[in-house]
């Protein structure tokens, strides 16, 4: 076993020294799923306890205690240019909860201008075609109480990724997420998830003949030399507690940090890691009507006009309604950078069959 672990760490260390590590890779899996979590700015690492939890913290699946749940979500980004969809199913087993999820983010009708100029330098607009770019992921999840301890939930995601860029390139990848939630006696919950815990590996195949073009003997759009990329681990950690205002009204806040093990535009950034905070809250009435607010993705950016450093962030809000095991949620979130007005709408639906049959 020690020899095996040594080989694994040696391989990961060797890969980390190459040029195949990407700061931003498979980012579509970091969007999250379910309008509840998005409306709260991702502040659900410790309190998303349903079929949507694999996209936030797989340990949350253990919050499903009866029968099964199913869910679906649809969202459109940047004035419907990109479409994001999520389908999921989770089933209570004897010693835990099993889940399976499918994710797609796609952009259609992209103009292909690689053949716009012929080999002699002439422009031919009839050579413009269209293609689609799509990212897919299949996620198998399992959550359980280690040693039968009801205070501790642990969950694991196994991810298979397929990415397609029209006729130009396609890639396959695989990776794992590991998460945990601890429930203290005083009502506080503490949790964290390590995404891409062993790094997620993507293997790419590039169609050089479709991608490149030769003009007057010079090659344009040469194919990338690296055919493999690594997605480095990311850590999300938070704490939450439910406060009952009265018998009908409650508020559930959560706050935490997101840690990228790379230098990014985060507020606190080093060569080793970058840290940014998040916060959100849910106000619920009789566990039937919900209002949510959140803020996430704090970044330090440079204003193009006056070249001054500014802080940007991603606000979000949402509402929800639940009736007899059926929950409909809506969220709106600013997907732009630096205060731009790229707002995206998210709609999600959840069926809790255990609650539906009990009613």
What torsion do the CA atoms of 285, 286, 290, 295 make, to the nearest 10 degrees? 70
Residue boundaries of the structural domains of the chain: 20-352
Q: What does CATH list as the number for 20-352?
A: 2.40.160.60
pLDDT at 198: 83
According to DSSP H, which parts of the chain are helical? Answer: 2-16, 35-39, 208-211, 353-358
pLDDT in tens, 197-256: 888 888 888 777 666 554 444 555 555 555 777 788 899 999 999 999 999 999 999 999
8 has a pLDDT exceeding 50:
no
> What average pLDDT does this structure show over 170-184?
93
Q: If DSSP codes are grouped into helix, strand and coil, which group holds residue 3?
A: helix
Tracing tokens 């619920």 back to the chain, one arrives at 284
Q: Which residues lie across from 186 on neighbouring strands? A: none
pLDDT at 22: 60
pTM: 0.83
β-pairing, 82-92 vs 97-112, is: antiparallel
**Of 295, 301, 296, nearest in space to 337 by CA:** 301
pLDDT at 337: 44
């Amino acid at each position: 076993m020690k020899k095996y672990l040594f080989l694994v760490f040696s391989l990961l260390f060797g890969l980390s020294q190459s040029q195949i590590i990407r700061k931003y890779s498979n980012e579509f899996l970091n969007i999250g799923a379910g309008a509840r979590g998005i409306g709260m700015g991702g502040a659900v690492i410790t309190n998303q306890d349903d079929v949507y939890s694999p996209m936030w913290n797989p340990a949350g699946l253990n919050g499903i205690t009866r029968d099964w749940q199913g869910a679906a979500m649809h969202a459109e980004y940047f004035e419907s240019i990109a479409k994001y969809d999520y389908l999921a199913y989770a089933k209570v087993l004897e010693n835990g909860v099993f889940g399976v999820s499918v994710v797609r983010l796609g952009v259609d009708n992209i103009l292909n201008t690689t053949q716009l100029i012929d080999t002699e330098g002439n422009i031919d607009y009839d050579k413009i075609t269209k293609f689609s770019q799509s990212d897919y992921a299949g996620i198998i999840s399992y959550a359980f109480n280690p040693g039968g301890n009801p205070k501790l939930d642990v969950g694991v995601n196994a991810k298979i990724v397929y990415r397609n860029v029209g006729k130009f390139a396609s890639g396959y990848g695989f990776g794992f997420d590991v998460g945990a939630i601890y429930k203290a006696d005083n009502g506080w919950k503490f949790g964290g998830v390590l995404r891409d815990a062993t790094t997620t590996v993507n293997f790419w195949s590039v169609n050089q003949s479709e991608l490149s073009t030769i003009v007057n003997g010079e090659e344009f759009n040469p194919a990338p030399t690296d055919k493999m990329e690594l997605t480095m681990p990311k850590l999300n950690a938070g704490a939450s507690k439910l406060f009952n205002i009265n018998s009908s009204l409650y508020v559930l806040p959560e706050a935490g940090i997101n840690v990228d093990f790379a230098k990014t535009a985060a507020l606190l950034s080093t060569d080793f890691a970058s840290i940014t905070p998040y916060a959100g809250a849910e106000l619920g009435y009789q566990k039937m009507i919900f209002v949510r607010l959140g803020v996430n993705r704090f970044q330090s950016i440079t204003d193009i006009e006056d070249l001054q450093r500014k802080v940007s962030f991603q606000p979000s809000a949402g509402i929800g309604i639940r009736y007899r095991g059926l929950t409909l949620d809506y969220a709106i979130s600013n997907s732009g950078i630096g205060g731009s007005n790229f707002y995206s709408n998210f709609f999600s639906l959840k069926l809790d069959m255990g609650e539906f049959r009990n009613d």
